Amino acid sequence: MPTSRSIWEDVDEIELLCSKIRRNRCKKLKATEEDYKKVREKYDPRKQNKRIKVLFIGESPPGNGTYFYCANSKLYHATKEAFEKAYNNKRLSHPDFLECFKHLGCYLKDFFDGQPCKKVNKPCQEFEDQMNKLIQQIKEINPEFIIVVHERVCYCVMLALLKANLKIEVRCLPFPRTAQGGLSYNAYVNQLAEIIQKELIPRGIFPEKLPQPPC
């Protein structure tokens, strides 16, 4: 009779997979698409029978050994800072933030899931497979709100929703490509914090106070 996996086995596996991802470079990939999927799915709210309320959509994982769900990318740090600013809470820290992100019903997927260095460098219509996959995923998730984290991906998401006749509110943010404190980094942090404070909390999508734990 198979035994259930312990939380420590899951943690060890995620750390092992993230160590592979940290060795990834665009011209020399160590981690596979399946590796990214396993790490990402650990933080899928549906694993705890929670609804994905806010779907974040990025372009692709970075090719420099970082990844949001390994808690070491610019997007991770900027998103964490935006939540801290919105809730005026400086105690959020890894791994608590990823658990908090999941608990709040947030989930990040990329237009090119698990495919580092892929870019939306052509008209969206030329990425038919990705567009159809995105439409199917949005239908399955049925989020209340979508936040697109890249200017180039924004048009593709809007086009996909229009094509599928899906009426979901979308906000598009600049990717925090600069270092912490840089122009695009600060723009992302400030705009996301404002969305949380002025839209997600007032509508009841997010709570007025962060739950302790896991936040």
The pLDDT value given to residue 9: 55
The pLDDT value given to residue 2: 44
The pLDDT value given to residue 152: 86
Out of 82-91, 139-148, 184-193, pick the least confident: 82-91
- Domains recognised in the chain with CATH numbers: 7-200 (3.40.470.10)
Position 138 pLDDT exceeds 60: yes
At residue 140, what is the residue type?
Answer: E
The pLDDT value given to residue 1: 42
Higher pLDDT, residue 30 or 167? 167
How many angstroms separate the CA atoms of 150 and 78, rounded? 13
Percentage of residues in the chain with pLDDT exceeding 90?
69
Looking at the chain, how many residues does it have? 215
How many angstroms separate the CA atoms of 210 and 202, rounded? 14
pTM of the model: 0.91
The 3-class secondary structure across 147-174, one letter per residue, is EEECHHHHHHHHHHHHHCCCCCEEEEEC
What does residue 145 show for φ and ψ, rounded to 5 degrees? -155, 145
Q: Name the CA radius of gyration of the chain, rounded.
A: 17
The pLDDT value given to residue 205: 98
Position 182 pLDDT exceeds 90: no
What average pLDDT does this structure show over 90-117? 88
The pLDDT value given to residue 125: 84
What average pLDDT does this structure show over 192-210? 97
Higher pLDDT, residue 95 or 125? 125
What average pLDDT does this structure show over 168-176? 96
